[in-house]
Homo-oligomer: A and B are copies of this chain.
């Protein structure tokens, strides 16, 4: 138990480091984005508080929630998007870290492909960064959910997207941002970096293909 606790503290440190790294790259502009980790020993979710410049985040800026998203401890208000984290942890039992970022490329790509309801990414070596993917011929379908301020409705949409895309490693909210996750902060970070690289490549190729 003490060892588990130590291990989870180190996950929390890694989560904050990842959030600051995202801030430095402009991936969580203003106070956007949120970051969470689930403690395997307790099932509790630790999530960044609302309205925070992620460049300044420390473990003290995380709130502790139960598995249903009720606040147990911590200062500040949980993010309005907490419900989306709760759904992902519920429907992806292997997930123990979730990252949500707003980047130029995920915004451009999700807005452009929203009407299709998804974007398919295939043929890139970097797809192998996704857990369980062993070849660049893999086709990663990224569901795109229309954005909404009704977070209950969004949570339902997220659950549907996860159910319909068993192998998806992430979900886009249109003109809003990416949700991705991993069994650990390290894996979530790997998925995040792979997605953002692939989004930039995919969007640039979509635009270039317009005049081929």
Residues in A lying within 8 Å of B, measured CB to CB: 25-26, 29-32, 53, 102, 104, 107-108, 111-112, 123-126, 129, 134-137, 147, 149, 173, 175-177, 186, 189-191, 193-194, 196-197, 200-201, 204-205, 207-208, 210-212
With known contacts A186-B53, A205-B111, A125–B31 Cβ distance under 8 A: no
| Complex Cα gap A125–B111 (Å) | 11
Asked whether, in the complex, the Cβ of B149 is within 8 Å of the Cβ of A134, the reply is: yes
B129 with A193: CB separation less than 8 A: no
Residues of B within 8 A of A189 (CB): 53
Q: Indicate whether A175 sits within 8 Å of B136 (C-beta atoms), given known contacts A194-B29, A212-B210.
A: yes
Give min CB distance, A176 to chain B, whole Å. Answer: 4
The chain B residue sitting closest to A192, CB to CB, is B30
Complex CA gap A190/B201 in Å reads 25
A199 to B: closest C-beta gap in Å? 10
Which residue of the partner chain B has the closest CB to A207?
A: B208
Contact between B32 and A125, CB atoms less than 8 A apart: yes
Distance A107 CA – B149 CA, assembled complex (angstroms): 32
Tell me which of B134, B197, B205 contacts A29 (CB under 8 A).
B197
Complex alpha-carbon distance, A64 and B186, angstroms: 26
A108 touches B205 (CB 8 A): yes
CB-defined contacts of A193 to chain B, threshold 8 Å:
26, 29-30
